[in-house]
């Protein structure tokens, strides 16, 4: 069975050539037109850029239709994509270029300044701009041996955030993307009638796998605007009858606070799905009260990404849970000795399935540490309720041990997050002579609100065991974040070490 990415488009172009496949900012493509465009770009990569199977090619761009087309052309030629995060500095990107061995780059005009900085630091054998010869090239015959483009070969190198050191390149195969597409198709009941709006960046696995590729496999339509603008997104949902959209909590907060939100017609919308970070219960309730289906799920770069999804039957009654494992994915929760933990106990989440990544690029030792006997050891802590639903307790490396008791920061963060004055919160551990470690809360407040340290501590004391109550509360205007927008506890740890506990 051919699970290669471009097979989907070739087959769709044969079965339903006139069905709309991709809607960009300025143009839309039927499946037949999309296939022709993929062939044109494949020809460009082959004849002009002289790229061969296994070559790595970097992409430096915000979301655009050409990004998807390039991904498909890369798959067709057996190349390896290295998507670059446009929010990173040139020196950070240079590390990824050098680590991956990318010899070529395609970039957009808007990123030209960043490209020039990057080009001063690394050498590219070939570089092209989307708006230049790339877009005007006429198709030449490209000889592609589909048999040699194994679905198990490396396809994309996605670099992780690197909050605990240098970023690692997670190697994903076309087969990984196929099984992720199937998992999401079954989890969300995706069909050819669906219209998926993609607003997560295509340089992250979320933009690729949630839910663009699954929608292409189902034969639906993928909509790709440029920069995220809440007002534009709401208009697109209404005008283009969007049925499915993936976002992160900050996106959903931006949408619901946009003045046109309550006037927007959401009747076509089947699924809003949230991931990437725990979604505040208050935000989930706000959407549900508007009659909007905001689901929660869980995934990782290394799992292409989807592992868990709440179903349409459970997304309201199981708020706080990430759901159950998707169809073709196995999970277990284990203790430090590798034994499965009892229901209700916290254990490390391990994952097995054909959606699990191939390796960390050039890091065999790190790969061996993470993948053992076919299981991916995530470093995430979780527990299972009596119905089999999974709840994330936090990261294993973030767990605080105070006086011999385990404190899971996420539990404390969720309690503090219930307070209406809270904008963001992070709980980390700091060394303590008496207890070994104690929890400290770092908090940013919503504009116009005030709270004191004792307010936070009293609220926590009413909900949590005494040893879980933050010993210290630090108020900041904004909490530190990494380039992907996630809270950066490594930076916070450095900041908190300067705090004198009383």
Q: How confident is the model at residue 434 (pLDDT cuts 50, 70, 90)?
A: confident
- Selection from 483, 489, 495 nearest residue 84 by Cα: 483
**Torsion angles phi and psi, residue 120, rounded to 5:** -75, -20
109-122 per-position pLDDT tens digit: 999 999 999 999 99
- Which SS3 state, helix, strand or coil, does residue 320 take? coil
Q: DSSP secondary structure string, 63-114?
A: S-HHHHHHHHHHHHHT-EEEEE-TTS-HHHHHHHHHHHT--EEEE-GGGHHH
pLDDT at 152 over 90: no
- Looking at residue 492, its pLDDT comes to 87
Q: Which helix (H) or strand (E) holds 222?
A: strand 221-223
Kindly state the average pLDDT of the residues 95-110: 96
- How would residue 187 be classed by pLDDT, with cut points 50, 70 and 90? very high
The predicted-structure confidence for 233-249, as pLDDT tens digits, reads as follows 999 999 999 999 999 88
pLDDT at 436: 87
Give the Cα separation of 12 and 29 in Å (integer): 13
pLDDT at residue 494 above 70? yes
Give the pLDDT band of residue 278 (cuts 50, 70, 90). Answer: confident
pTM of the complete model: 0.89
Statement: residue 140 has pLDDT above 80: no
Average model confidence (pLDDT) across the chain:
92
Query: Do 463 and 415 touch, CB atoms closer than 8 A?
Result: yes
Band (pLDDT 50/70/90 cuts) for residue 502 is very low
Range from 147-156, 199-208, 217-226, 394-403 carrying the lowest mean pLDDT: 147-156
pLDDT of 500 higher than 80: no
Of the candidate ranges 133-137, 335-339, 394-398, 426-430, the one whose mean pLDDT is the lowest: 133-137
Question: Which pLDDT score is estimated for 240?
Answer: 97
CB under 8 Å to 40, separation ≥6 — which residues? 137, 138, 139
pLDDT of residue 280: 85
Q: Is the pLDDT of residue 431 over 70?
A: yes
Answer positive or negative: Cα dihedral of 434, 437, 438, 443: positive
Residue 115 CA to chain centroid, in angstroms? 24
pLDDT of residue 274: 95
Burial class (CB in 10 A: 0-12, 13-18, 19+), 414: middle
- The band of 150, judged by pLDDT with boundaries at 50, 70 and 90, is confident
Q: Can you list the domains of the chain with their CATH numbers?
A: 5-384 (3.40.50.12780), 400-496 (3.30.300.30)
For the cut 60, the answer to whether the pLDDT of residue 162 exceeds it is no
**What pLDDT is attached to residue 276?**
84
> Could you tell me which residue, 439 or 136, shows the higher pLDDT?
439
Q: What confidence tens digit (pLDDT) does each residue in 473-485 have?
A: 999 999 998 766 7
**pLDDT score recorded for residue 137:** 62
**Burial degree of 270 (CB within 10 A; 0-12, 13-18, 19+):** middle
Which residue's entry shows tokens 């199937």? Answer: 182
- Show the 3-state SS of 1-26: CCCCHHHHHHHHHHHCCCCEEEECCC
Decide: 250 and 424 in contact? Cβ < 8 Å. no
> What is the reported pLDDT for 142?
56
d(CA 410, CA 428): 10
Paired with 171 in beta bridges are: 157, 359
Q: pLDDT class for 2, splitting at 50, 70, 90?
A: confident
Q: How confident is the model at residue 1 (pLDDT cuts 50, 70, 90)?
A: low
Q: What was the pLDDT predicted at 166?
A: 82
Overall average pLDDT of the 308-337 stretch? 96
């Amino acid at each position: 069975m051919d699970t290669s990415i471009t097979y989907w488009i070739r087959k769709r172009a044969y079965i339903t050539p006139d069905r709309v496949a991709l809607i960009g900012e300025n143009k839309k493509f039927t499946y037949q037109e999309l296939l022709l465009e993929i062939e044109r770009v494949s020809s460009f990569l082959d004849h002009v850029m002289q790229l061969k199977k296994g070559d790595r090619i970097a992409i430096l761009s915000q979301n655009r239709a050409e990004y998807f087309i390039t991904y498909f052309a890369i798959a067709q030629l057996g190349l390896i994509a290295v998507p670059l995060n446009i929010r990173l500095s040139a020196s950070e990107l240079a590390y990824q270029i050098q680590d991956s061995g990318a010899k070529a780059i395609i970039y957009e005009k808007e990123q030209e300044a960043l490209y020039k900085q990057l080009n001063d630091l690394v050498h590219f054998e070939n570089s092209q701009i989307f708006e230049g010869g790339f877009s005007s090239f006429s198709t030449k015959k490209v000889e592609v041996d589909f048999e040699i483009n194994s679905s198990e070969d490396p396809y994309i190198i996605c670099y992780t955030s690197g909050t605990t050191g240098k970023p690692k390149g997670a190697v994903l195969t076309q087969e990984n993307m196929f099984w992720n597409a199937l998992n999401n198709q079954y989890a969300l009941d995706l069909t050819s009638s669906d219209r998926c709006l993609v607003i997560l960046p295509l340089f992250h696995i979320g933009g690729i796998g949630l839910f663009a590729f699954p929608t292409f496999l189902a034969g639906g339509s993928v909509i790709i605007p440029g920069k995220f603008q809440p007002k534009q997104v709401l208009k697109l949902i209404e005008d283009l009858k969007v049925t499915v959209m993936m976002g992160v909590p900050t996106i959903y907060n931006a949408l619901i606070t946009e003045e046109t939100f309550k006037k927007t017609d959401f009747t076509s919308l089947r699924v809003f799905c949230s991931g990437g970070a725990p979604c505040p219960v208050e935000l989930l309730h706000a959407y549900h009260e508007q009659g909007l289906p905001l689901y929660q799920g869980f995934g990782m770069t290394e799992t292409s990404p989807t592992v868990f999804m709440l179903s349409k039957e459970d997304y309201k009654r199981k708020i706080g849970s990430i759901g159950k494992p998707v169809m073709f994915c196995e999970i277990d929760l284990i203790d430090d000795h590798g034994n499965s933990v009892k229901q209700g106990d916290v254990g490390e989440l391990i994952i097995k399935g054909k959606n699990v990544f191939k390796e960390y690029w050039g890091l065999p030792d790190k790969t061996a540490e993470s993948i053992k006997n076919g299981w991916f050891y995530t470093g995430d802590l979780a527990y299972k309720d009596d119905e089999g639903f999974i709840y994330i307790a936090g990261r294993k490396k973030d767990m605080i041990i105070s006086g011999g008791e385990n404190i899971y920061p996420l539990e404390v963060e969720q309690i503090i997050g219930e307070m209406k004055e809270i904008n963001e919160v992070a709980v980390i551990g700091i060394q303590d002579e008496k207890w070994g470690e104690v929890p400290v809360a770092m908090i940013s407040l919503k504009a116009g609100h005030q709270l004191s340290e004792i307010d936070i501590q009293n609220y926590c004391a009413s909900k949590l065991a005494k040893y879980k109550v933050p010993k210290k509360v630090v108020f900041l205007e904004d909490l530190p974040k990494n380039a992907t927008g996630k809270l950066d506890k490594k930076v916070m740890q450095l900041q908190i070490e300067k705090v004198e506990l009383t």
